[in-house]
Chain A
Amino acid sequence: MTKTTYKFLSQPRRVVEDRRFVAGKGHYVADYDQAGMLHIALLPCHQPAAKIDSIDTSAALAMPGVIDVVTGAELAAAIDPLMNGLDTPQVRRYPLAVGQVRYAGEWVCAVAAESRAIAEDALEKIRLETTALPFVLDAEQALQNDSPPVHPDHKSNVLLDKKFEWGPVDEDFAAADHELSFSVTWGRNSTVPIETFGVVAEWNAWEQILDVRASVQMPKYADQIARTLGLSGNQIRLHYDIDVGGSYGVKRGIKHAVLTGYLARKLHRPVRLIEDRLENMRAGDAHGPERKFDVSVAFDKDGTVRAMKMRALDNAGAYAGRAPFQLGKPIGAIVGPYRIGSVAYHALSVTTNKAAQEAVRGFGQAPTNYALETAMDRVATFLDMDRLVLRRHNLIKADEFPYLIPSGSTYDSGDYHTVIDKVLTAADYPKLVAECDRLRQSGMMAGIGIAACLEPSGGNASFEPLLNDANKTTTWMESCQLNIDALGTVTARIHTTSSGQGHETLVSTIVGEVLDLAPDDIRVTRPNSLESLPGNSPVGSRMAIMLGGAAARAAEKLKSKIITIAAHRLACDAASLDYKAGDVHAADGRKVPFSDIIEAAHRQIHKLPDGMEPGLASFDIMQVPTGGALPENGKVQMYPCYSFEFHLTLVVFDPIIGKPEIRAYYIGHDCGTVINPAIVSGMTYGGIAHGIGAALFEEFAYDDSGQLMTQSFLDYLMPSSHEVPDIQIVKHSTPSPYTVFGQKGSGESGYLGAPAAIASAINNAVAAHGICFSKLPIRISAISDAIAAATTPGNTNAVK
């Protein structure tokens, strides 16, 4: 593909949204005040599994200022269960526990009161009587037939048990020189936005409409609220102009919205539920994947990795939701950036008595990449080969694209070897290795971490029909509307909330590029769901491709109409005309100025071609490129685009203290054509920070009695500015042939490889002691304990 120069695209441009945020003028849901608004507080049950015997709400209801107390039983009689992604009808979830509590902290009652403080006071007056039930926390145990079922009606804890075999796996294993097996565990963490989830619902009985404002990032949110509450689709008005204070996948809050909507209808008052941090951490149903991988790889003496068998067991927590699909998306990049010829994949998801899992940045790809990169490091160690040499040997080459992987997805484009070369040059790799050696000689533990991985992007839903035979979804569209008003200014309408991704900047830049008009003069609005076209929200690194694509296509339609009007005026062939900044030029020097086009379109239909509609408006509903087919034989094209990242890091720590310090961090990043450089860099830095958290600090850890031990920010440790180094991004661009400008996704960049890279560095540092960590996060205490155990004379048990 030839290199294109753009006027606005890929150029430094300030992010439109930033202006209001630095002034403290974002529009977050908690900022929305309404007269007469009621506030919800939630009563948790502290047992991991219990039968609800009785709930006495009378004392709470008698308190001044308390308007209502609702229980799960009341809800279950009035509404439908929340949507299940899988075909598991007996795994029913309601906003409040119904009959049985399934994890410690689960909400049992909701109090609606005149203030949050009164609602919290009232919680203490509710008398909850329960009988403890047996519970299960570990996923392997939950798989056993004799484990206590979290949902007795479902009979077992298995939500998903699906085996795939792509290519001649057994033959490849038999033919290979060697094979090795290992297990790694990805700990339960999440993105934990600084804004908790919040929602405000208002029922207008005269118009029979429920207005919902929520800090949400979720596909089909309004639809799901309507279905669950038994309302029609156009009775929910979801307001997309709410700014979301961080999400990275998890701001899904469907149970919150249904509960709040139910109470708003019942009480005829605006109702608001803003989680406090405790509610958010233990019962916001926003934990990420907790996954154990058992991996076998078959490889030859020269380092060629021929085949892989992977069993991925996910601990979904107490309810199903969409979480098990996080085992599905990684199928679209199951071999990572490598030429692995055949794969057997066993996807297992089980219920346990932990908080319910939700989508997290990467939708399962980061854990899978960690397992894949561990395999690469283990093979290199086995063969005593350099880790970089092994990877280069197995990487797909630039001239092999488009490249079909065994599981049915075609990778669009890439130049992995070049990206790696650029990173090694930027990092002065020999010097980095020398520095690592120097640190080791000085008595420190030091290691170099390496990870190469893909970011599937363009967010499609192909994993739904792949994992659920009853689901026949083949589109995951996104839309954009444009209007040029009678004064000649452009307004774009987009149909989603934003949580920091800069969608207004994205769309105004792209529309400006296509129409050759200053992006800063283009306004982007986010109307409500009833004034919107269909869309699927910013999930799966899709908005540059899908919203950007729809915006570009809508703008092309407008441009085409402008040229057609001019051609009519000039009585010449449209194809002979040249468009520039709204004006249309003919080869003979004649010109129709933009102002004349506007005038004609808005006031002078007699100057338009016969049959042309007045006005200058357009819209586009874009289908995901390469999408549209149902799976066949367990294979499907997952996402259209595949961004590449290569991580290189130097980590050092004192052997006694064990606190890792990241001395150097380089990432080579190729997401095709970049639309806004500052946004892409910011997402990459932030993704790496999140990856550092997943690798070293963050975990929703439960004790043996089923209690969440990391419920506050004092226990759930997140990287501060001290833990995140100055990261060097090495940029490269291999445009995608499937998108309007060659752009790929970047919303999950950094996070998809950073945990693997850091684990690789730490394992490189401790390898000399015979230690190998195979569970994330690798805590400071785990490192120092392992080294102490390995270096104590007479102790031969290396900690795994």
Chain B
Amino acid sequence: MDITLKINNKDISASVEARLSLLDFIRDIAGLKGTHAGCEHGVCGACTILLDGEAVRGCLMLAVQAEGSAITTIEAVNGAAHPVGELGVIQDAFCETHGLQCGYCTPGMVLAAQALLKHNPTPTRDQARDAISGNICRCTGYVQIIDAIMVAAERLQGPNQPADQTQ
């Protein structure tokens, strides 16, 4: 089937088999390798992407079902606001608390955090815990990931300036 998917605000057209997962489209056709395959049966959350702003599993959706939706992957989590090489607030918070180790589940975690903070800018620790409960991490025990989300929430509430310009 010929489809066009809008990924990170860019239209990507390809002729694909109907059975191709959205995850495989993102990785193999769009060439965006930041979205990872973990279990490919919808449990681990490593393939989390944003579909019209909601955290969705790329492995449980077919590419052909995603036409007409706006897809955001980790590569564009900051939108166009940040130049390449500069971290967004949530990503920076993950670095601040070391909310990761091997990095494999991390893009999914960052996107899950982004989806949470969009709906709920001031989550409690339990709400942060709940928001990532569909994403399995085998390295961290989640503690520093939840720390990262709380740090990000606090910073996103603060003045919208780079840290080095605030006096």
Residues of A within 8 A of B (CB): 14-15, 17-26, 28, 30-31, 33, 117, 191-195, 243-248, 274, 276-277, 499-502, 678-679, 681-683, 685-690, 712-714, 718-722, 724, 726-727, 750
CB of A757, distance to nearest CB on chain B (Å): 14
Chain B interface, DSSP helix/strand/loop, else mixed: loop
The yes or no answer to B80 lying at the interface (CB within 8 A) is no
Asked whether B132 is an interface residue with its Cβ less than 8 Å from the other chain, the reply is: yes
Q: Is the CB of B141 within 8 A of A500?
A: no
Q: Is B101 close to A, CB under 8 A?
A: yes
Q: Is the CB of B101 within 8 A of A502?
A: yes
Q: Which residues from B are CB-within-8-Å of A31?
A: 33
Let me know if B98 and A721 touch, CB within 8 A.
Answer: no
Would you call B41 and A14 a contact (CB within 8 A)?
A: no
B residues near A (Cβ < 8 Å) are 17, 19, 27, 31-41, 43-44, 46, 73-75, 87, 91-92, 94-98, 100-107, 110, 125, 129-130, 132-146
- Given A24-B32, A719-B141, 9 more A-B residue pairs with CB atoms under 8 Å apart are A18-B94, A31-B33, A117-B17, A195-B46, A246-B101, A500-B139, A688-B141, A690-B138, A721-B130
Which chain B residue has the least Cβ–Cβ distance from A276? B40
3 closest pairs, A vs B, by CB? A24-B34, A21-B103, A500-B102
- What is the distance, in angstroms, from B142's C-beta to the closest C-beta of chain A? 4
* B33 nearest in chain A by CB position: A31
B residues in contact with A30, CB < 8 Å:
27, 33, 36-37
**Contact among B39, B98, B140 with A689 in the assembled complex (CB-CB below 8 Å):** B140
Minimum C-beta distance from A726 to chain B (A): 6
CA distance A30 to B100 in the complex (A): 19
Q: Evaluate whether A713 and B106 lie within 8 angstroms (CB atoms) in the complex, with A678-B144, A720-B136, A722-B133 already known.
A: no
In the complex, the answer to whether A19 meets B43 with C-beta atoms within 8 Å is no
Let me know if B101 and A277 touch, CB within 8 A. Answer: no
Shortest Cβ distance from A282 into chain B, in angstroms?
Answer: 14
Question: Inter-chain contact count A-B, CB under 8 Å?
Answer: 175
Give the interface SS of chain A, mostly helix, strand, loop or mixed.
loop
Partner of B144, one of A19, A21, A23, A681: A681
In the bound complex, do residue B100 and residue A21 qualify as a contact, i.e. CB atoms below 8 Å apart?
yes
With A22-B100, A26-B104 in contact, is A713–B39 under 8 Å at CB?
yes
Interface centre among B87, B97, B142 (most CB of A within 10 A): B142
Asked whether A245 lies within 8 Å of B103 as measured between CB atoms, the reply is: yes
Q: Knowing A14-B95, A679-B98, A718-B138 are in contact, say whether A22-B110 is a contact too (CB < 8 A).
A: yes
In the assembly, what is the distance between CA of A22 and CA of B91, in Å?
6
- Please state if B97 and A678 are interface contacts (CB–CB under 8 Å): yes
Q: Are A18 and B95 in contact (CB under 8 A)?
A: yes
Complex Cα–Cα for A726 and B129 (A): 10
Give Cα A501 to B144, complex, Å. Answer: 15
Residue with the greatest number of chain B CB neighbours at <10 A, chosen from A14, A191, A274, A750: A14
* Closest CB in chain B relative to A180 CB, distance in Å: 34
- In chain A, what residue has the closest Cβ to B108? A194
- What residue in chain B is nearest A691 (Cβ atoms)? B141
B96's nearest neighbour on chain A, judged by CB, is A14
Q: B38 and A19: CB pair below 8 A?
A: no
Smallest Cβ-Cβ distance to A501: which chain B residue = B101
Contact present for B143 and A727 (CB under 8 Å): yes
Establish whether residues A244 and B102, one from each chain, have CB atoms under 8 Å apart when the complex forms. yes
Taking the closest CB of chain A, its distance from the CB of B103, in whole angstroms, is: 3
- Are A714's CB and B133's CB within 8 A? no
Q: How far is the CA of A592 from the CA of B73 in the complex (A)?
A: 52
Complex CA–CA separation, A713 to B146 (angstroms): 23
Q: Are A685 and B36 in contact (CB under 8 A)?
A: no
CA distance A194 to B43 in the complex (A): 11
Q: Pick the contact of A726 from B100, B103, B106, B143 — CB < 8 Å? A: B143
- Which of the residues A25, A192, A686 comes within 8 Å of B34, measured between beta carbons? A25
A24 touches B35 (CB 8 A): yes
Given A245-B104, A500-B139, A686-B138, A713-B91 contact (CB < 8 Å): no
- Chain A's closest residue to B45 (CB) is A194
Residues in chain B near residue A689, CB distance under 8 A: 138, 140-142
Complex: chain B residue closest to A243, CB-CB: B103
Interface centre among B102, B105, B133, B142 (most CB of A within 10 A): B102
CA distance A750 to B140 in the complex (A): 11
Q: List the A side residues contacting B145 at CB < 8 Å.
A: 721
Cβ–Cβ < 8 Å partners of A246 in chain B: 101-102, 104, 138-139
> Which B residues are CB-close (under 8 A) to A33?
31
CB contacts (< 8 Å) of A276 on chain B: these are 40
Known: A720-B133, A721-B132, A721-B133. A24 touches B107 (CB 8 A): yes
**B140 and A18: CB pair below 8 A?**
no
Q: Is the pair B95, A19 in contact by a Cβ cutoff of 8 Å?
A: yes
Q: Chain B's nearest CB lies how many Å from the CB of A47?
A: 24
| Whole-angstrom CA separation of A24 from B125 in the bound complex | 25
Give B78's nearest chain A residue, CB to CB: A23
A148 to B4, CA, bound (A): 58
Q: Provide the residues of chain A in CB contact with B130, threshold 8 Å.
A: 721-722
Most chain B beta-carbon neighbours within 10 Å: one of A19, A244, A245, A727: A245
Q: Which residues does chain A contribute within 8 Å of B136, judged by CB atoms?
A: 194, 713, 718, 720
Q: Specify which of B103, B107, B143 is in contact with A17 (CB 8 Å cutoff).
A: B103
The distance from the CB of B93 to the nearest CB of chain A, in whole angstroms, is 9
Who on chain B is nearest to A15 by CB?
B98
Q: B40 touches which one: A14, A277, A690 (CB < 8 A)?
A: A277
| Closest residue of A by beta carbon distance from B31 | A33
Assembly CA distance A750 to B98 (angstroms): 17
> How close is B131's CB to chain A, nearest CB, in angstroms?
9
